[in-house]
Homo-oligomer: A and B are copies of this chain.
Amino acid sequence: MKSIGIGLAGFGTVGGGVYKNLESNRALLAQRLGATFEIRRIAVRDLAKSRPVEAPVDLFTTDLDALISDPSIQVIIELMGGVEIPLAFVRKAIEAGKIVVTGNKALLAEHGAELFALAREKRVPIFYEAAVAGGIPIIKTVREAFIGNRFQSIHAILNGTSNYILTRMSEAGLDFAPALAEAKALGYAEADPTLDINGWDAAHKAIILASLAYGFWVESSQIHVSGIDKLTGDDIRFTRQLGYTIKLLATIKADAADEIEVRVCPTLIPKSHVLASVNGVFNAVWLRGDVVGEALFYGRGAGQDPTSSSVIADLAETVTALESPSRCYGFTSHDLYGKLKPIEDATSQFYLRLLVDDTPGVLAQIAGILGTAGIGISSVIQPEGHDTGQLPLVLMIHDATFGQMREAASQIAALPCVKAEPTLLPVETFA
Contacts and interface: CB of A to CB of B under 8 A. Distances in A.
Interface of A: 21-22, 24-25, 27-29, 31-35, 129, 135-137, 140-141, 144-150, 215, 274, 277, 289-300, 303, 305-306, 308-310, 312-313, 315-317, 319-320, 323-327, 332, 334-336
A-B complex: 3 closest residue pairs judged by Cβ atoms: A148-B312, A137-B145, A324-B324
Contacts of A319: 327
Given A135-B295, A146-B309, A327-B34, A290 B140 contact: no
A272 to B, nearest CB: 10
A192 B73 CA distance: 58
6 contacts: A32-B334, A33-B147, A129-B145, A137-B141, A298-B298, A320-B320
What copy number does this chain have within its complex?
Answer: 2
A32 B310 CA distance: 23
Contacts of A29: 147-148
A32 B215 contact: yes
Nearest to A298: B296
A144 B316 contact: yes
A297 B300 contact: no
Given A31-B334, A32-B215, A148-B21, A292 B305 contact: yes
A31 B332 contact: yes
A312 B141 CA distance: 13
Nearest to A315: B148
Nearest to A317: B144
Contacts of A309: 145-146, 148-149, 289, 291-292
B150 A28 contact: yes
A296 to B, nearest CB: 4
A313 B24 CA distance: 32
Contacts of A22: 148
Contacts of A295: 135-136, 297-300
Contacts of A141: 137, 140
Nearest to A143: B32
A265 B163 CA distance: 35
B299 A312 contact: no
A291 B274 contact: no
Nearest to A294: B299
